[in-house]
Structure formats: structure tokens, C-alpha cells
Amino acid sequence: GQVQGRLDGFFQVL
């Protein structure tokens, strides 16, 4: 099955 991914990790915290 599939689960909802998160955005954390895609974007760099400035």
C-alpha cells in the first residue's frame, strides 16, 4: 500500500 510522504527533507532550512 501507499502512505502519504512528507516534504521534510525535500527543502533546505535556510
Partner 1 sequence: MFEARLINSVTFKKVLDAIKDLLNEASFDCSEAGIQLQAMDNSHVSLVSLALRSDGFDKYRCDRNLTMGMNLASMSKIFRCSSNDDTVTIKAQDDADTVTFMFESKKQEKISDYEMKLMNLDQEHLGIPDTDFSCVIRMPAGEFARIVRDLSQFGESIVISCTKEGVKFSTSGDIGSANVKLAQTSSFEKEEEAVIIEMQEPVTLTFACQYLNSFTKATPLANQVQLSMSDNVPLVVEYQIPDLGHLRYYLAPKIEE
List Cα–Cα distances, 8 to 1, 2, 3, 4, in angstroms.
21, 18, 15, 12
Rounded to the nearest whole angstrom, what is the least distance from the CB of residue 9 to partner 1 in the complex?
A: 9
**Between vectors from CA 4 to CA 1 and to CA 7, what angle results, nearest 5°?**
145
Total of chain residues touching partner 1, rule CB under 8 A? 13
Within 1-14, the residues that bind partner 1 by CB under 8 A are: 1-8, 10-14
Binding site for partner 1 (CB under 8 A): 1-8, 10-14
